Structure 1
Amino acid sequence: MTTSESTTLYTLGDRGQTIDGSANDVRGRQVKDSNGDGIGNVVDLLVDDQENKVRFMVVEHGGFLGFGETQSLIPVDAVTKTTKDEVFIDQSRERVAAAPGYDPGLLEARTYHASIYRHYGFTPYWGLGYAY
């Protein structure tokens, strides 16, 4: 469990990093909700700089032909299964659509992360009882 107030998150894409093995890197995969309906695609991953663990997926959804798309954060705690092309989560498409939008300017704000965890019904990674 990460408890340090100085912990920040960074995007893998900004640092040009990869996940250990392409099979574990879900960027580019389609996200499917608890009913198997498509939500959008994973465009990046947010990593905890203290423990180097992925905490959120940045998912792009909505829009048409690349216009009007929205980005949201989904905690990795919501992932129930991954395949070669897909990431399944235990949330509905509607819940993702109603989530706080992704704001790169708030990557260091714990209150922002807490609001996202709260929206999806999970304990934040720094909270008591959190298990990765």
Structure 2
Amino acid sequence: MTQNDNAALYTLGDHGQTVDGSANDVRGREVKDKNGDGIGKVADLLVDDREEKVRFLLVEHGGFLGFGETKSLIPVDAITKITEDDVAVDQSRERVAAAPGYTPDLVDDRPHHTSIYNHYGYAPYWGGGYMYPSGLAMLPMAGPLNPH
């Protein structure tokens, strides 16, 4: 259960933090959809300031050589598997592409996060009875955060 009624989110990179051990950091890994097709790369992680848990993957997709890229947030609830190279999610490429867009100004905007959770069909982490994805505790990105 979570007590995150007033938690604020921040991007890990903006706070000079990393996940414990570089092998445990999923940033830069390819995100694969439920069919195994590439969606994009994990650009950063959004973490809540209360429980220090990753709540969203910030994924860059589309574009060419960094131009025209789109950024989307995917709730960690969508993660089904993490390997050394990939992060698999239970969504389709099309679903991620149709998600509400990412804007840095909305990193800590609760109504925007609600629209993202609704889009993907998950209950928000601040809701009553929310349980952090149980399998995530065993996955590399769930390790402790370290300041750098």
Regarding TM over 0.5, the answer is yes
Q: Normalised by the size of structure 2, how large is the TM-score?
A: 0.85
Matches within 5 A, 1:1-132: 1-5=2-6, 7-132=7-132
Query: Displacement, 1:21?
Result: 2.2
Rounded to whole Å, the distance in 2 between the matches of 1:69 and 1:58 is 12
Query: Displacement, 1:4?
Result: 2.6
Q: Where in structure 1 are there 5+ consecutive unaligned residues?
A: none
SS, match of residue 114 in structure 2: helix
| Count of residues paired in the alignment | 131
Q: Where in structure 2 are there 5+ consecutive unaligned residues?
A: 133-148
Provide, for residues 38-66 of structure 1, a one-character-per-residue CA deviation record: whole Å limited to 9, x for no partner: 00000100000010000001000011222
| Greater length-normalized contact order (CA 8 Å, ≥ 6 residues apart) | 2
Distance of aligned partners of 1:129 and 1:42 in 2 relative to their CA distance in 1, 3 Å threshold = same
Over 2 Å off, 4+ runs: 2-5, 21-24
Provide, for residues 73-102 of structure 1, a one-character-per-residue CA deviation record: whole Å limited to 9, x for no partner: 000110000100100000000000000011
Rounded to whole Å, the distance in 2 between the matches of 1:110 and 1:71 is 18
Rounded to whole Å, the distance in 2 between the matches of 1:124 and 1:42 is 21
Higher mean Cα deviation, 57-66 or 34-43?
A: 57-66
SS, match of residue 18 in structure 1: strand
Q: Percent identity?
A: 72
Which position in structure 1 is the counterpart of 2:136? none
Query: Displacement, 1:129?
Result: 2.3
Q: Normalised by the size of structure 1, how large is the TM-score?
A: 0.95
Query: Displacement, 1:20?
Result: 1.8
Which position in structure 1 is the counterpart of 2:143? none
AA partner of residue 72 (structure 2):
S
